[in-house]
Structure 1
Amino acid sequence: MPGHIVVGVDGSPAARAAVDWAVAEARSRSLRLRVVHACEQGRQEHAMGCCASSLAFAGDRARALSGGLPVITELLAGNVVDRLLMEAATADSVVLGSRGLGELAAMAYAVAHARAHGARLHAVHVWRTPAVSPYAVAGDGVLMDLYQEDTRAVADGVDRWRAENPDVEITHAAWVGHPVSVLTEAAASADLVVVGSRGLGGFAAAIMGSVGHGVLHHVTCPVAVVRPRARTA
């Protein structure tokens, strides 16, 4: 059996919780821990620096909690999914946070559409509590801390979009619940719903994302499912 656990990080609050869980699992089974961050080719120089910084932070956190457990860190280049699949081929297990930093990926399209049509843009952030949470290993209150950090990060992101696009009225709301249910309710008064595609969860979801697939079948207004553009070197 392979002798190490891989944890993928991206600087998000969920990734930090994943590091905590991976360290606890590795210590309980006397396995080595490998912390990786995949940074896609073609990223701008400052983005590569952010990748390296996120990895260093996660590595320091893992070592602080490891109790002497061997911890290796590596910055990977290439497609995130492909690199993690390669890591999984030689690992005992791969640990990831339930949510990353991609929630605002569809904002560029939404802002451009709102500007072109003279419409308001309402950003909805939905935080879904895990039914079974591995974060309990990090102690009481971790889920609340995770929720607050995640919500704050999204709010800060929306504030940046608002500051960079003063000609577009942008509002924001945070909800706890199922993303499809919340977005369906919000869509009742919308002209268009824009969701990002992360390609997670089943065959249909591999094409458009599980949330996009659910929203498409429940709302009555038009839906735009925005897939990330492939980056080139």
Structure 2
Amino acid sequence: MVSAPVLVGVDGSPAGLAAVAVAAREARMRGIGLRVVHAFFWPMMRVPLEPSSMGPPEGGLRNQAERTVEEALRHARETAPDIEAEGAVVTGDTLPVMAEESRGAALAVVGSRGLGAFTGLLLGSTAVHLAAHGHCPVLVVRGAGDPAREGPVIVGVDGSPSGGAATEFAFAAAARRGTALVAVHAWSPWRAEAPAPRDPAAPYASAPGELAANEERLLAEALAGRQERYPDVPVERRVLRGGPREALIEASREAALMVVGARGRGGFTGMLLGSVSQAVLHHADCPVAVVRAGGGED
């Protein structure tokens, strides 16, 4: 494959196959290849990999791993017959394997929970780890996992560098899908940027409506220039007073895709994933793309 492919991780779980279908559709829309990877950790455990002398020749852990990839490739080609797809069984633990594989990918796609997840977990460790440590945008397939799910692309906007990369990614995603973009900016007086200094004799720190106007302006500035580059993408702006986590999770019910930055302007230094992106990853009703600053659309 000449261009960086869409990467998808599989483990034989239904969530993994749902991720394959979404990844295949992403590859087709982008006009690039698909790489299916299964992390094979059993060699590290020093257990027998080949078929037992007492069992069928198609048995054994190595054959099982190869069948997992073959099944995923069949599913990908059923979803998008015209894409170029390749598969690989890579020795190693899932988390470092997928993080390393993401270095050469345009987009990494994973299911929300694989075979190794504990019952009751809303999100598996692979999805969390890759969203935090991936070297490209990461798409976590939540909800029903329908690759052709309809609805707008929704992006959370907060004015941060990571949010800017997410906005660029979201515009490109909406353009590929031929759908609308909904830009959501949620704010509260406790999280709003401080207004310019006013007359000390004024009775209030800000004039009536000034905070809301500042937040409207923040959203307009975040979208500036991108609407000109994507003139065919209808854009709806939503400036909501309230918590961003609640606003985005509610908006996800109508979305084909939710896009968030890895860390917003309120995140603590050193955090790889902010509280908003973590909340959306765990509770959104649609696939969620997490984009890091400098890791937007290619």
Q: Shorter-chain TM-score category?
A: 0.3 to 0.5
**Which structure has more helix as a fraction of its residues?**
1
TM-score normalised per structure 1: 0.47
TM-score normalised per structure 2: 0.38
